[in-house]
Amino acid sequence: MPAREPRASFPSTSAPTRGTYASGAIAGGDMRVFNTITTIAAGIALAFGALAAPQAARAEIGDGTVRIGVLTDLSGPYADNVGKGAILAAQMAVEDFGGKVAGVPVEVVSADHQNKADVGSAIARKWYDVDKVDMITEVVSSAVALSVQQITREKNKVFLATGPGTPDLTGKACSPNGVHWAYDNYALGNVVAGAVVRRGLGKWFFLTADYSFGHALEEQAARVVKANGGTVLGSVRAPLGTADFSSFLLQAQASGAQVIGLANAGADMINAQKQAAEFGIVGGGQSIAALLVNLPDINALGLASAQGLLLADSFYWDMNDATRAWSKRFMARFDGRAPGSLQAAVYGAVSHYLKAIEAAKSDDAAAVTAEMRKLPINDFYTHDARIRADGRVIRDMYLLQVKSPDESKYPWDFYKLLETVPGDKAFRPLAEGGCALALKDQ
């Protein structure tokens, strides 16, 4: 949706002006002509000075409006996890900031990237080149996010990735203009596998989505299992979009593993978990750990099917008074639906971006990202976090377990907290990511 162009506003230029008299040989009619010319010149100078003063006060804010683009999935498999809820979160952040930053209005625009890199890239280019968007956020698809990160760097704008999981955004594809806000696949595998093995569940079997995303999730989690003294008994790979997981689940069940790791997401994860419940796998003594779950996924599953599921996340709406207060405001405007971590992350990212513009008195990408790195990140979602040299926000992650229907006392009362994993233990070490910018700074 194209952004609305701001209406031009000019200050009054009616202040009186005076001519400047020259000394020397000019006299009579020549002097009157000179006086007329200098009076006009002085008036023009003062008028332009009056015009320039408010512009200087507004510093380096491009065309007089800060525009934020929420590029998201509005119609596909991740729409419930981001989508309209992500757009609402951005709007709430702007409203809570007063609707203006550094004296200029803030606008939020949005679009559906359809989880296609070419579609997302085309939208990003149009937003930057035509609609004068200053920052893009969300972008749940990793393929789209990597493309948008590169375009953002070329156009000298800002990209705050809240939805995608690929660690490459702060690794080989890192950018001085990019920040990875919420989670990444490294942290998910690290938190789930590491914490679960340390709790005594060391024998794992993986049910993996058979494409690059699933392979990467399994590889990371398996590495952590082994590093913590556990063993991987095997794995089975299911095609993307599998409807019937019975044969795969039977193999996992027969493996004798203590934990079945689901290295998939979205509909695949939901279908696999539902069928695992039907098979009585958890009731039979095995645990299921899902490597990528969002709160709306649990709502879709229902507690009867999801109970006992182990997962990692960066936020839970019902964790404390601050998370509940913001979430209830969100729910009041979102048909009673609680926010997931990816929606809450948009609020945090947009808020921090606006704080940085206010501090820099500029929307220039270099100036804003420098301020973003200076300022501590503090809100209901994040406490005393900072942006690392590679663009990674280092925050606490949480090991959570889905409650049983009997344990849940009210709507969206889904999780119990098992463990808090500090950010420096959850995310990939800086030196291992391969970010050229970060290595240069060391």
Neighbouring residues of 228: CB distance < 8 A, sequence distance ≥ 6:
193, 194, 197, 198, 202
Q: How far is it, in rounded angstroms, from Cα 36 to Cα 31?
A: 9
In eight-state DSSP terms, residue 40 is H
pLDDT surpasses 70 at 440: no
pLDDT of residue 411: 97
pLDDT surpasses 50 at 53: no
From 114-123, 338-347, 365-374, 429-438, the region with the lowest mean pLDDT: 429-438
Looking at residues 337-342, what average pLDDT do you find?
A: 97
For the chain, state the CA radius of gyration. Answer: 27
Q: How far is it, in rounded angstroms, from Cα 53 to Cα 42?
A: 16
> Which residue shows structure tokens 């606490």?
396
pLDDT of residue 17: 29
Given pLDDT bands bounded at 50, 70 and 90, which one contains residue 441? low
Given pLDDT bands bounded at 50, 70 and 90, which one contains residue 55? very low
Q: How far is it, in rounded angstroms, from Cα 289 to Cα 312?
A: 9
Q: How far is it, in rounded angstroms, from Cα 133 to Cα 130?
A: 8
Are 403 and 184 contacting, i.e. CB atoms less than 8 angstroms apart?
Answer: no
- Average pLDDT, rounded, for the chain: 87
From 156-160, 185-189, 205-209, 404-408, the region with the lowest mean pLDDT: 185-189
H-state helical runs in 292-405: 295-301, 303-306, 321-332, 341-360, 365-374
Are 280 and 249 contacting, i.e. CB atoms less than 8 angstroms apart?
Answer: no
Are 349 and 95 contacting, i.e. CB atoms less than 8 angstroms apart?
Answer: no
- What strand order describes the sheet that includes 397-402? 231-238, 203-209, 259-263, 287-290, 310-313, 397-402, 415-421
Q: How far is it, in rounded angstroms, from Cα 149 to Cα 170?
A: 10
From 9-13, 31-35, 275-279, the region with the lowest mean pLDDT: 9-13
| Nearest by Cα to 363 from 66, 37, 12, 10 | 66
pLDDT surpasses 70 at 245: yes
Question: What percentage of the chain exceeds 90 in pLDDT?
Answer: 78
More confident residue, 278 or 6: 278
Are 350 and 435 contacting, i.e. CB atoms less than 8 angstroms apart?
Answer: no
pLDDT surpasses 60 at 26: no
pLDDT of residue 6: 35
The amino acid sitting at 25 is: A
From 4-13, 27-36, 61-70, 72-81, the region with the lowest mean pLDDT: 4-13
The residues that bridge with 69 in the sheet, in sequence order, are 109, 136
> Which residue shows structure tokens 């990528």?
292
Q: 0.85 exceeded by the pTM?
A: no
> Which residue shows structure tokens 């596909």?
76
